């Protein structure tokens, strides 16, 4: 800053620019942000940085005053775009992230007002020992009109901020005139938005915003002007604030004017598409329908009827000069419902089958489906809903009588469901590191590995050899090294010694070698799943900071028992299978001729899959926790702030539980001879019903966290099917592929 002012003395152009009126100098002090991410806001380094910034602000203010000869015409505004959590991140909606300081002093600024009590109940002022001064909170958008008023320039064209008069030290007349200009500026935005909407809507369909009709606008303007002329400034300011609020409401009204119309069109598309997918499932993957010859005459009439409806809709949109996106939203339901109506015979067969059942069975099944989907939807907002679902799952063997033939497995299933149900009740990951829990997870993984390996060695036969055992030993060594690296890195950083180079090398080597070791293991079901757990856990441990390190272990344990329970369920319903799980080989399990038609229980399997996928995401976190993730999660790999690298590692950590669930479901799918196509059609129906929920829950008001979260939920569910297909492809790769080294004996089932 000093060199900037010094250079202006030898640069006439710069000197002239700085000495013009209405000059704004903008300084972005990024150091605190970077320091907070790296060292956290309660660290010694951060506090030293704050002290340095305080001194810097004092020096800069002094430089500016000196440059302008202490003329007292400079106003200073110090603020921040966001706050920070105790663990050095931002992106969620905690007050520590959204409440920021605003300190204004200098020319035209009011003096602090002393008070005996505060309107706000939080302790922010008390912490800074400022409780005797009046706190004046504003929205960030209000800072723009404040700056404009201070330097005497027009308010920004598209600003929706309200001038905070309490900050100004000026006459009542000036304040009233400023508020009037502020109101006129926002009212003009309202008028433009109204005229735009009026031009693109048929006159007999246009519904204006009644609180701000033309006559009301004129009345407001006349009254405000009259109050100012009569020097009733307080009344004028009060009316201006009312007008501003109404104009902002009107802006929102016209911004969302077509929401109901478009929402209904999109909902019709969703319902049509979901209905069509259900009909495809029933027609091609079940035995519920009969083959009916096509009536060409009826089909032709139907086609032309829907084509005519589409033309009417297109003409209606054309004469209103609607955007091209409206054509997509409004015309898409036409072919979808045409496809549905064409399948009337399938609907009739389905209705006949449903009516042949007891009413209690039909209603009961429908209620269970609705309740299950509602629990999934609620889990996006309240993670504890997953706990409710898992507790219901715990009772599944008892409800279906499966426990009668497999009491031990049913008991283990129940215990693991209850254990997994604990995780959604815990705080989201990222609060405070708990390295002992990560170490405990590593040691527990080693203990389970030892028992599993001992069992394999005892049953050593043609399905396992010494080379395979070596792979497991290497994977166990990787787990041990990961546990050591996490512990040692934490201690080193705690002692301000930085990330040891050896630890960093081991971390990156583990990340690269884990998938290779996995693909060297046998493709027999239990052996390959065991290898997948070890490989993914070695990486997951390096990315963990607390209790979440235990989550994949419990999740995989439940998945392992689930595979066994599905076998018991098939036998319970009289569907016996050829292969035994002990000798089942993924590599030779893809015979398409063995796939069977769907049964009602397959809907339950698909729902389990979706539920476990959602649990894999929300079991230890949510959208907000990802937005404000703890950088300590990646400290075993790097400590230098690198958003893209950190983001990539965070994404890997999020994906690992998904991979575990997908690999387990791959096992369920092939062992129960369930085709991928039928599975994903059911999943598509579930995700579409959820997406319709979230579509109506999307917000464009409230905090930016509320808005962002609602949109994220909708996008997540919309992409759920595509994501599951990718996970299914990855699961097939991880379960069926094997790297054969030279000289190694090949296994066959």
Give the model's pLDDT for residue 430. Answer: 56
Q: For residue 545, is pLDDT > 60?
A: yes
Q: How distant is the alpha carbon of residue 523 from its chain centre?
A: 35
**Residue 710: closest CA among 617, 610, 612, 623:** 623
Give the integer Cα–Cα distance in Å for 607 and 389: 11
Nearest to 487 by CA among 446, 535, 433: 433
102 phi, psi to nearest 5 deg = -140, 110
Task: Tell me the domain boundaries of the chain.
Answer: 156-257, 260-356, 359-425+435-736
Rounded percentage of the chain residues whose pLDDT exceeds 70: 91
Could you tell me the CA-to-CA distances from 183 to 16, 162, 356, 535 in Å, in that order? 34, 8, 67, 63
For residues 713-718, average pLDDT: 84
Tokens of 384: 């504890």
Confidence of residue 388 (pLDDT cuts 50, 70, 90): very high
| CA separation for the pair 347, 361 (Å, rounded) | 19
For residue 429, the model assigns a pLDDT of 62
Instruction: Please answer whether residues 164 and 136 qualify as being in contact, where contact means their C-beta atoms are separated by less than 8 angstroms.
Output: yes
Residue 674 has pLDDT above 90, yes or no: no
Is the pLDDT at 155 greater than 60, yes or no? yes
Q: Which DSSP helix (H) or strand (E) runs through 105?
A: strand 102-106
DSSP 575-644: ---SS-GGG-BGGG---GGG-----HHHHHHHHHHHHHHHHHHHTS--HHHHHT--GGGGTTT--S--HH
pLDDT at 72: 87
Q: What is the rounded average pLDDT of the residues 156-167? A: 92
| pLDDT recorded at residue 556 | 94
With beta carbons less than 8 A apart as the criterion, state whether 93 and 50 touch. no
CB 637 within 8 A of CB 508: yes
Mean pLDDT confidence for 589-601:
66
Task: Check pLDDT > 90 for residue 700.
Answer: no
pLDDT at 372 over 50: yes
590, pLDDT greater than 90: no
Looking at residue 749, its pLDDT comes to: 45
Please tell me the predicted confidence (pLDDT) of residue 444.
95
Task: Please choose, from the candidates 513, 482, 517, the residue with its C-alpha nearest in 3D space to the C-alpha of residue 637.
Answer: 482
For residue 375, CA distances in Å to 392, 428, 573, 611 come to: 11, 19, 27, 9
- Determine the average pLDDT of the residues in 278-303: 78
The count of residues in the chain is 749
Q: How many CB atoms lie within 10 A of CB 642?
A: 14
Ranked by mean pLDDT, the top range of 411-415, 524-528, 678-682, 727-731 is 411-415
What is the per-residue pLDDT across 85-112, written as a single tens digit (0 to 9) for each?
776 667 666 777 778 889 999 999 998 8
Is residue 76 within 8 A of residue 104, CB to CB? The reply is yes
Angle at 268 between CA 265 and CA 273, to 5 degrees: 130
The residue ranking higher by pLDDT, 477 or 298, is 477
226-244 mean pLDDT? 94
Half-sphere exposure of 420 (CA within 13 A, CB side): 33
Query: Is residue 332 scored above 90 in pLDDT?
Result: yes
Residue carrying structure tokens 């086609």: 303
Using the predicted structure, report yes or no on whether residue 499 has a pLDDT greater than 60: yes
pLDDT of residue 450 exceeding 60: yes
The dihedral over CA atoms of 622, 627, 628, 629, expressed in degrees to the nearest 10, equals 70
Q: Which of 2-6, 144-148, 481-485 has the lowest mean pLDDT?
A: 2-6
Residue 579 pLDDT more than 80?
Answer: no
Average pLDDT over residues 592-606: 75
> For residues 42 and 36, what is the distance between their CA atoms, to the nearest angstrom?
9
The confidence score (pLDDT) of residue 414 equals 93
Q: Are 550 and 437 spatial neighbours (Cβ–Cβ below 8 Å)?
A: yes
Distance CA 279, CA 283 (A): 6
CA distances in angstroms from 105 to 79, 150, 170, 171, 487, listed in the order given: 12, 11, 14, 17, 49
Tell me, what's the pLDDT at 202?
Answer: 82
Mean pLDDT of the chain: 85
Mean pLDDT lowest for which of 352-361, 364-373, 555-564, 577-586? 577-586
- pLDDT of res. 403: 76
Under 8 Å between Cβ of 180 and 168: no
State both tokens at 131: 């409780």
Stretch among 16-25, 413-422, 461-470 having the lowest mean pLDDT:
461-470
Is pLDDT at 658 greater than 90 in this prediction?
A: yes
β-bridge mates for residue 102, sequence order: 79
CA separation, residue 398 to residues 373, 404, 414 (Å)? 22, 8, 10
Locate 249 and state its tokens.
């409401």
| Contact (CB, 8 A) for 180 and 145 | no
């Amino acid at each position: 800053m000093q060199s900037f002012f010094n250079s202006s003395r030898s640069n006439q152009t710069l000197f002239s620019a700085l000495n013009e009126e209405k000059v704004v100098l903008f300084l972005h002090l990024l150091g605190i942000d970077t320091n907070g991410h790296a060292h956290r806001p309660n660290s010694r380094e951060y506090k030293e940085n704050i002290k340095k910034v305080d001194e810097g602000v004092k020096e800069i203010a002094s430089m500016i005053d000196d440059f302008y000869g202490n003329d007292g015409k400079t106003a200073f505004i110090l603020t921040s775009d966001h706050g920070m959590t105790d663990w050095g991140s931002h992106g969620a909606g905690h007050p520590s992230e959204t409440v920021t300081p605003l300190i204004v002093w200098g020319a035209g600024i009011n003096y602090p007002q002393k008070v005996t009590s505060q309107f706000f109940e939080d302790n922010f002022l008390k912490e800074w020992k400022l409780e005797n001064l009046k706190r004046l909170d504003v929205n960030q958008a209000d800072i723009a009109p404040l700056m404009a008023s201070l330097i005497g320039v027009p308010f920004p064209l598209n600003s929706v901020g309200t001038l905070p008069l309490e900050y100004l030290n000026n006459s009542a007349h000036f304040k009233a005139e400023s508020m009037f200009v502020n109101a006129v500026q926002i009212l003009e935005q309202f008028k433009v938005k109204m005229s735009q909407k009026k031009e693109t809507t048929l006159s007999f369909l246009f519904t204006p915003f009644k609180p701000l009709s033309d006559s009301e606008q004129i009345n407001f303007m006349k009254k405000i002007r009259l109050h100012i002329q009569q020097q009733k400034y307080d009344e004028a300011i009060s009316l201006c604030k009312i007008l501003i609020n109404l104009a902002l409401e009107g802006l929102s009204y016209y911004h969302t004017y077509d929401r109901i119309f478009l929402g209904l069109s999109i909902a019709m598309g969703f319902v049509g598409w979901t209905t069509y997918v259900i009909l495809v499932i029933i027609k091609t993957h079940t035995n519920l329908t009969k083959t009916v010859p096509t009536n060409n005459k009826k089909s032709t009439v139907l086609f032309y009827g829907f084509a005519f409806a589409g033309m009417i809709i297109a003409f209606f949109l054309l004469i209103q000069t609607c955007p091209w996106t409206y054509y997509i939203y409004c015309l898409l339901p036409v072919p979808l419902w045409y496809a549905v109506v064409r399948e009337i015979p399938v609907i009739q067969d389905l209705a006949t089958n449903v009516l042949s059942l007891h009413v209690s069975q039909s209603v009961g099944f429908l209620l269970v489906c609705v309740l299950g989907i509602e629990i999934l939807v609620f889990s996006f907002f309240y993670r504890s809903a997953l706990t409710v679902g898992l507790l219901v799952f715990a009772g599944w063997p008892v409800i279906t009588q499966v426990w009668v033939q497999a009491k031990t497995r049913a008991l283990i299933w129940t215990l693991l469901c209850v254990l997994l149900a604990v995780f959604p009740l815990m705080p989201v990951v990222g609060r405070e590191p708990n390295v002992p829990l990560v170490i405990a997870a590593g040691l527990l993984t080693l203990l389970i590995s030892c028992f599993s390996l001992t069992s394999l060695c005892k049953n050593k036969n043609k399905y396992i050899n010494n080379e395979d055992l070596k792979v497991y030993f290497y994977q166990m060594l990787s787990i041990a090294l990961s546990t050591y690296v996490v512990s040692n890195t934490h201690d080193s950083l705690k002692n301000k010694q930085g990330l040891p180079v050896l630890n960093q090398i081991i971390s990156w080597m583990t990340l690269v070698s884990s998938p290779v070791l996995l693909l060297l293991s046998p493709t027999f079901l239990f052996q390959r799943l065991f290898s997948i757990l070890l490989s993914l856990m070695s990486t997951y441990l390096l990315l963990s900071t607390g209790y979440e390190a235990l989550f994949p272990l419990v999740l995989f344990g439940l998945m392992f028992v689930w595979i066994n329970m599905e076998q018991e369920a098939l036998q319970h319903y009289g569907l016996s299978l050829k292969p035994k799980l002990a000798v089942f080989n993924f590599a030779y399990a893809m015979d398409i001729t063995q796939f069977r038609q769907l049964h009602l229980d397959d809907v339950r399997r698909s729902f389990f899959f979706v539920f476990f996928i959602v649990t894999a995401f929300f079991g230890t976190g949510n959208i907000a926790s990802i937005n404000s993730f703890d950088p300590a999660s990646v400290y075993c790999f790097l400590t230098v702030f690198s958003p893209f690298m950190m983001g990539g590692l965070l994404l890997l950590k999020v994906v690992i539980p998904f991979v575990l669930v997908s690999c387990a479901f791959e096992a369920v799918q092939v062992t129960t001879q369930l085709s991928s196509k039928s599975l994903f059609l059911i999943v598509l129906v579930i995700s579409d019903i959820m997406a319709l929920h979230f579509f109506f829950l999307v917000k464009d008001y409230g905090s930016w966290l509320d808005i962002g979260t609602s949109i994220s939920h909708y996008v997540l569910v919309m992409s759920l099917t595509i994501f599951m297909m990718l996970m299914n492809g990855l699961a097939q790769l991880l379960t069926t592929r094997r790297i054969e080294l030279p000289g190694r004996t090949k296994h066959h089932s």
